[in-house]
Structure 1
Amino acid sequence: MKQIKWSLLMYAILAAVSIMGIGVAIAEKSLIGIAGCIIALIAIMGMGFKTKKKLRERGEL
């Protein structure tokens, strides 16, 4: 059985919440909210990929 990588799971959950936030911001017609959620999504996804690369380089993935 594979070990759960909790940090990667947390990044995935946060990215999903950011995507939902974009939808809510669109429904509310909030350009600031849309922009904020998109920026948050890009930052979270970047950190997740960076963490995954580090884990792969250390052989933990």
Structure 2
Amino acid sequence: MKNIKWVFVLYAMLATFSIMAIGIFIGEGSATGVIGSIVALVAIMGFGFTTKKKMREKNQL
């Protein structure tokens, strides 16, 4: 439990919610919502990978 990187758990949860939002907006027929959710997903995943790279360079992983 001590090795859990909570920031990555947060990124994973946010990405999961974005994926769920895509499905919800598809069901509602909202193209704007789908596009917004996809943009949010790409941004969250980008932040996660960037954070992982920075932590790896600082030998924190």
What TM-score do the two structures reach when normalised by structure 1? Answer: 0.95
Cα separation, 2, equivalents of 1:56 and 1:39: 26
User: Identity of aligned pairs, percent?
Assistant: 57
SS at match of 1:32: helix
Cα separation, 2, equivalents of 1:6 and 1:54: 15
Which 4+ stretches in 1 moved above 6 angstroms? Answer: none
What TM-score do the two structures reach when normalised by structure 2? Answer: 0.95
Query: 1:25 corresponds to which residue?
Result: 25
Gaps of 5+ in 2: none
CA shift for structure 1 position 27: 0.4
Cα separation, 1, equivalents of 2:54 and 2:6: 15
Q: Give the letter aligned to residue 58 of structure 2.
A: R
How many residues get paired? 61
Which structure carries more relative contact order (alpha carbon 8 Å, separation 6+)?
A: 1
Query: 1:60 corresponds to which residue?
Result: 60
